[in-house]
Amino acid sequence: MVLEAAKLARCGAPYEVILKELEHMKKKVSTSFIVDSVECLYRNGRIGKNIARICDVFSLHPILKLSGSHMKPAGLCIGSQRRFARAYLRWALRRGGEIVPDMAFLITAGVSYESRQFLLQEIKERIPWKTVVVNKASATISCNCGSGAFGILFMRK
């Protein structure tokens, strides 16, 4: 959205037009994350002790979707990191025809270089992106999702 606002500003669009366009774009941004461990969610009071235990026992990894300024549960994946990573990316990038393939952001928190490369390869295999930007997660995302969490952000049509 920032890149679009900058482009409109460079073209001389008045701020009212830029704000209107950003308001329209906001509804099209897809932002989701998957957590490696529910420890941070439990410590922050986002899930209860019993749910945390169940997730740990069955290797369940919650998918969190950003809606407005809130993270909401959107699904679960199961298994090892590579298995749940593939399942999450299948979920996040479903309905590929609705995705604008210009740019995606891979956001990671405490993910190894090798894992980032694996995720990047998986993302590029699913959608022919023009650009994929890899960034470390903000402090807010890292504190809420914990080490090993990652997410993908992109625009839908």
Sequence spans of domains, the chain = 28-156
**Residue 59, token pair as written in the block:** 């290797």
pLDDT for res 11: 94
Helix boundaries (H) for the chain: 2-10, 15-26, 39-43, 49-57, 81-92, 113-126, 139-145
The 10s digit of each residue's pLDDT in 33-80 is 999 999 999 998 889 999 999 999 999 999 999 887 788 889 999 999
76-118: per-residue pLDDT in tens? 999 999 999 999 999 999 988 899 999 999 999 999 999 999 9
CA quadruple 116, 120, 156, 15: dihedral, nearest 10: 70
Q: What is the pLDDT of residue 145?
A: 86
What count of other Cβ atoms lies within 10 Å of the Cβ of residue 157?
8
Domain 28-156 in CATH 3.40.50.300: no
Q: What percent of the chain has pLDDT over 90?
A: 78
